């Protein structure tokens, strides 16, 4: 409301100045209309000889002898002007004529320059013009936020009391993380009790975790609980193409924070500005490095920033500069991981508020079937389910909406209108049936959630497993089973059609990557032993040294690694082939059911096995 009134006031002042300038210019250039009649020489002489002339005034111009003769009539008629003018090139000649005609006249002095009109007024007019142009540019550029006037200013946003506050009660599934941050809140609320025992208030808290786990939400909750000013800015807002701008913005940010201390500065995605220095790209004059240097000084340099706590979030802590991670800058690192089954249930309850759920929906069961989902994934799952319910003209969510949303979020939207040939549909059915059988038979990778031959994205179909528990570690046995399942589609194609397709390319890529990780990263190969040959410097453009991009082993070791990867793939392929041959009747039955229904559920698939023993 205040901003609107201010803008209206500025608009009125601008309009007034514009009108004033126009009127002044018209007056100064003598362009205002005047009621006068210009006489010809013959008409002038005719008036002089008549007895209608009341008075005659000769006005000299500055450039003598030019001038004008004003003739005023005494008994004017309708249609006649009161004053008439004759402009002459020689005032002396007119004087002689009037003297000869014995007409009395007045003669003015040569006009002198007006000091105000020639000196003061042009200056005032010029200043008013510049002021008008400045105001118009200022309004067009956004007032106080004009880029031209605040290029080196901080772009941080300061939360106010009117902003919607988030508290720890609204953050679900992160119990231990909240307990760590509650101490920060207590520091800000009651700093004296810590200072009197010699404790130093932490200067920085780094929130580390995968995308979507709630790092930014936790920072907002800290600000809401502490009830202190909260500055938010993204790491990319510091970096510009002009050298020195980022450092200037860092200085300005901390200057503003000092005025509002105690307060919190939250830098989201800090890896955009705090990557490791000395990469060889840009040298010491790199704009990003100068910005980081200034940030290091502000957080813990010669200056004192009492009462300012810097919070930052990143999912790439491995590429951050070591200087910013030391105690005294970021004193604490809070790991914000993926929620467990209890945390997922709490998160689902938070996001289910405001969404009418049918009685058949069991949030606990949904939490159990969404292992690996982050808070953002769960919110998206319920949102997609709500969208599907609205499309079906329903005012409540059903379990079927959750299932459809689960497939859409996990695999992709189904393209039911996509036309495929009967041959391709049959190949896809046997391919997915091969995956499904291995998911069901192998003990550590199932059970099957649903099997479909409806195209989704770039895939012709999908087999979705249903992890029933959270796992902290991955075992060698499970990884071998994962590889075996990946090869099930190719095995089924060979067994039935005696030919292979390109449909298993992604499966082969996934299996090869997993096998290579077992050999070079996890030490799960007898030939290689407990030696890690994983090259951590493959990504040279994320802040690592360009000089260390070569692999850390020789050609002989590379040959052994290749042989071990191939051995693992071959063994898993042989196992997959054996299991599918043992359940050949289920393979054909599953493919026929898929061709008939296009999509089958867990219950429909497991019914195909009847009383067959499941391999332990």
* Model confidence pLDDT, tens digit, residues 64-103: 777 777 777 766 665 555 677 777 777 788 788 887 877 7
Is 612 considered catalytic here? no
Q: 6 vs 2, 150, 215, CA distance in Å?
A: 6, 20, 38
Pairing of strands 83-88, 67-73: antiparallel
Helix, strand, coil % over all residues of the chain, rounded to 5: 50, 10, 35
Which residue positions in the chain have pLDDT lower than 70? 1-36, 51, 74-82, 113-117, 136-157, 159-164, 240-244, 278-286, 301-305, 412-418, 457-458, 468, 535-551, 610-616
The pLDDT assigned to 193 comes to 84
Angle, helix 375-391 to helix 341-352, in steps of 10 degrees: 40
Tell me, what's the pLDDT at 78? Answer: 56
Binding residues: 209-216, 431, 435, 507
User: Residue 53's beta-bridge partner residues?
Assistant: 73
Kindly name the residue from 269, 298, 345, 432 that is annotated as catalytic.
Answer: 432
Token readout for 118 is 């020639």
Q: What is the pLDDT of residue 279?
A: 57
pLDDT of res. 167: 82
Tell me the C-alpha distance between 57 and 150, whole Å: 62
Binding site for ATP: which residues? 209-216
- Looking at residue 282, its pLDDT comes to 47
Alpha-carbon distance of 68 to 107, in angstroms, equals 10
Query: What pTM did the predictor assign?
Result: 0.67
The pLDDT score that the predictor gives to residue 56 is 80
Annotated binding-site residues for Zn(2+) read 431, 435, 507
**363/352 Cα distance (integer angstroms):** 9
How do residues 284-322 score in pLDDT, each as one tens digit? 446 778 888 888 888 875 555 577 888 999 988 888 888
What φ, ψ does residue 328 adopt, rounded to 5°? 105, -20
d(CA 468, CA 577): 26
d(CA 574, CA 328): 57
Query: Residue 596 and residue 592: Cα distance in Å, rounded?
Result: 6
């Amino acid at each position: 409301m205040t901003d609107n009134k201010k803008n209206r006031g500025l608009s009125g002042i601008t309009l007034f100045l514009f009108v004033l300038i126009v009127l002044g210019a018209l007056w100064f250039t003598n362009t205002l209309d005047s009621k006068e009649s210009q006489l010809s020489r013959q008409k002038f002489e005719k008036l002089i000889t008549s007895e209608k002339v009341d008075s005659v005034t000769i006005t000299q111009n500055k450039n003598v002898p030019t001038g004008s003769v004003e003739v005023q009539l005494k008994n004017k008629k309708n249609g006649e002007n009161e004053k008439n003018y004759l402009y002459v090139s020689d005032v002396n000649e007119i004087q002689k004529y009037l003297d000869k005609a014995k007409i009395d006249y007045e003669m003015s002095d040569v006009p002198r320059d007006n000091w105000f009109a020639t000196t003061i007024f042009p200056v005032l007019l010029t200043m008013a013009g510049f002021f008008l142009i400045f105001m118009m540019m200022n309004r067009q550029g956004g007032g106080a936020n004009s880029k031209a006037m605040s290029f080196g200013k901080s772009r941080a946003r300061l939360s106010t009391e009117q902003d919607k506050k988030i508290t720890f009660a609204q953050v679900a599934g992160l119990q231990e993380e909240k307990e760590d941050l509650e101490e920060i809140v207590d520091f800000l609320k009651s700093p004296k009790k810590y200072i009197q025992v010699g404790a130093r208030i932490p200067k920085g808290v780094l929130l580390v975790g995968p995308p979507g786990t709630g790092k930014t939400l936790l920072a907002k909750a800290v600000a809401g609980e502490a009830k202190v000013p909260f500055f938010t800015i993204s790491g990319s807002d510091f970096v510009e193409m002009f050298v020195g701008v980022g450092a200037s913005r860092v200085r300005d940010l901390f200057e503003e924070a000092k005025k509002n201390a105690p307060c919190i500065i939250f830098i989201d995605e800090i890896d955009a500005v705090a990557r490791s220095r000395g990469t060889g790209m840009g040298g010491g004059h790199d704009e990003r490095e100068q910005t980081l240097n200034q940030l290091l000084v502000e957080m813990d340099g010669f200056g004192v920033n009492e009462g300012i706590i810097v919070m930052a979030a990143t999912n790439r802590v491995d590429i951050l500069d070591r200087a910013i991670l030391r105690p005294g800058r970021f004193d604490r690192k809070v790991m914000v991981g993926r929620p467990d089954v209890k945390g997922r249930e709490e998160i689902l309850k938070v996001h289910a508020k405001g969404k009418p759920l049918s009685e058949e929906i069991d949030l606990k069961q949904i939490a159990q079937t969404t292992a690996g989902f982050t808070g953002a994934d769960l919110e998206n799952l319920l949102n997609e389910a709500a969208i599907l319910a609205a499309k079906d003209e329903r005012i409540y969510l059903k379990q079927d909406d959750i299932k459809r949303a689960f497939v859409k979020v996990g695999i992709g939207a189904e393209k039911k209108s996509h036309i495929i040939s009967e041959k391709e549909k049959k190949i896809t059915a046997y391919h997915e049936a091969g995956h499904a059988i291995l998911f069901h038979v192998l003990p550590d990778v199932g059970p099957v959630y649903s099997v479909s031959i409806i195209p989704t994205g770039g895939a012709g179909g999908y087999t979705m497993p249903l992890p029933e528990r959270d796992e902290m570690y991955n075992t060698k046995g499970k990884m071998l089973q994962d590889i075996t399942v990946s090869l099930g589609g190719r095995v089924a194609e060979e067994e039935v059609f005696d030919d292979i397709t390109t449909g298993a390319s992604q499966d082969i890529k996934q299996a090869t990557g997993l096998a290579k990780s077992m050999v070079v990263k996890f030490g799960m190969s007898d030939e290689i032993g407990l030696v890690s040959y994983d090259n951590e410097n493959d990504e040279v453009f994320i802040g690592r040294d360009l000089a260390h991009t070569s692999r850390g082993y020789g050609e002989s070791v590379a040959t052994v690694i290749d042989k071990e990867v191939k051995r693992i793939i071959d063994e898993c392929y042989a196992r997959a082939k054996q299991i599918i041959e043992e359940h050949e009747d289920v393979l054909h039955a599953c493919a026929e059911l898929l061709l008939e229904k296009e999509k089958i559920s867990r219950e429909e698939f497991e019914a195909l096995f009847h009383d067959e023993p499941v391999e332990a």
